[in-house]
């Protein structure tokens, strides 16, 4: 079960990355919150590539990478924008919808087909999302409460959009490592990905490079967490189906609920914890039984 341990580590570092960003950079515009991890993790990925053996690279690797860069960048932007404007414990669990969408993208890109138990896990995730977003004395019995909550809360909508984007990114990311190797694909991708984002932000004048030096401790911490997150992600992804790996990774929703209560003193934690726990249970069913 090495893949499960790596996927769970990915969930932990993924949630930690967002929590640290919210704590240390939450007062900055979303694009600055994206730029900080890109800038401070870039040297780590470049250094890591030096120690990675260069594998045989299959045709199509670079074109696939070129398509994946803007897709992943969009997912990052949506994620950080969501947690900046809405509670962490409410927004992050919506990333648990990624394995649902990844079942579809995995089928078309990688010919992966879930079992009926996998579908049961997906239903559990959806029910968990209902518990997470429903509630309040005036709408406890409202079956449309989750839909109304998503419509009312912009952070939830953005995070749901991020879940869809990452469903494409995780499947294409696995295809990328199948064209090379897990570590080479991860290091190469994020060197190009981070450089492209930073250059675009600098050239358009959207952010000023000097501002990225204002909080070096926060940048270094987020950069290190992102680096470990990506290493665990790619290693886990190389060992199992994309939908199963990302299902376990979406335990980051449950971990984020804990971060939200401990670090940010967010309210309604009991209901959100139950909802996130159900979503995590569904993710576990998809990963372990499906």
Q: Tens digit of pLDDT for each residue in 216-264?
A: 999 999 999 999 999 999 999 999 888 788 878 877 777 877 777 777 6
Measured from the Cβ of residue 34, the count of other Cβ atoms closer than 10 Å reads 25
pLDDT at 92: 67
Confidence bin at 138 (pLDDT 50/70/90): very low
Q: Answer yes or no: is pLDDT of 192 > 90.
A: yes
* Euclidean distance between CA atoms 119 and 64, whole angstroms: 29
pLDDT at 30: 80
Q: Answer yes or no: is pLDDT of 203 > 80.
A: yes
pLDDT at 139: 47
pLDDT at 19: 87
Measured from the Cβ of residue 107, the count of other Cβ atoms closer than 10 Å reads 14
CA angle (184 as vertex; 183, 188 as ends), nearest 5: 115
What distances in angstroms separate CA 174 from CA 43, 106, 154, one per listed residue?
A: 23, 10, 30
pLDDT at 199: 94
Predicted TM-score of the model (pTM): 0.82
Q: Answer yes or no: is pLDDT of 164 > 80.
A: yes
pLDDT at 136: 46
Average pLDDT over residues 167-194: 93
Q: Answer yes or no: is pLDDT of 276 > 90.
A: no
pLDDT at 147: 64
């Amino acid at each position: 079960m090495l893949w499960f341990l790596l996927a769970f580590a990915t969930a932990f570092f993924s949630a930690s990355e967002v929590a640290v960003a919210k704590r240390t950079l939450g007062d900055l515009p979303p694009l600055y919150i994206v730029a900080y991890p890109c800038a401070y993790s870039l040297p780590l990925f470049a250094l890591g590539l030096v120690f990675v053996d260069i594998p045989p690279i299959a045709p199509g690797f670079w074109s696939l990478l070129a398509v994946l860069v803007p897709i992943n960048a969009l997912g990052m932007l949506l994620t950080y924008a969501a947690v900046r404007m809405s509670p962490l414990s409410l927004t992050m669990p919506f990333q648990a919808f990624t394995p649902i969408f990844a079942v579809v993208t995995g089928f078309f890109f990688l010919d992966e087909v879930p079992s009926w138990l996998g579908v049961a896990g997906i239903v559990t995730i959806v029910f968990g999302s209902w518990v997470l977003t429903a509630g309040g004395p005036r709408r406890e019995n409202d079956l449309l409460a989750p839909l109304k909550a998503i419509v009312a809360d912009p952070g939830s909508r953005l995070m749901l959009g991020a879940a869809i984007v990452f469903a494409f990114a995780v499947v294409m990311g696995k295809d990328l490592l199948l064209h090379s190797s897990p570590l080479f694909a991860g290091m190469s991708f994020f060197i190009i990905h981070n450089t492209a984002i930073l250059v675009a932000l600098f050239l358009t004048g959207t952010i000023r490079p000097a501002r990225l030096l204002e909080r070096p401790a926060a940048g270094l911490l987020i950069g290190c967490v992102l680096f470990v997150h990506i290493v665990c992600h790619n290693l886990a992804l190389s060992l199992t189906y994309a939908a199963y790996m990302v299902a376990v990774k979406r335990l980051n929703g449950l971990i984020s609920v804990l971060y939200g209560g401990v670090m940010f003193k967010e309210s309604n934690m009991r209901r959100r914890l139950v909802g996130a726990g159900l979503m995590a249970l569904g993710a576990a069913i998809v990963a372990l039984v499906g």
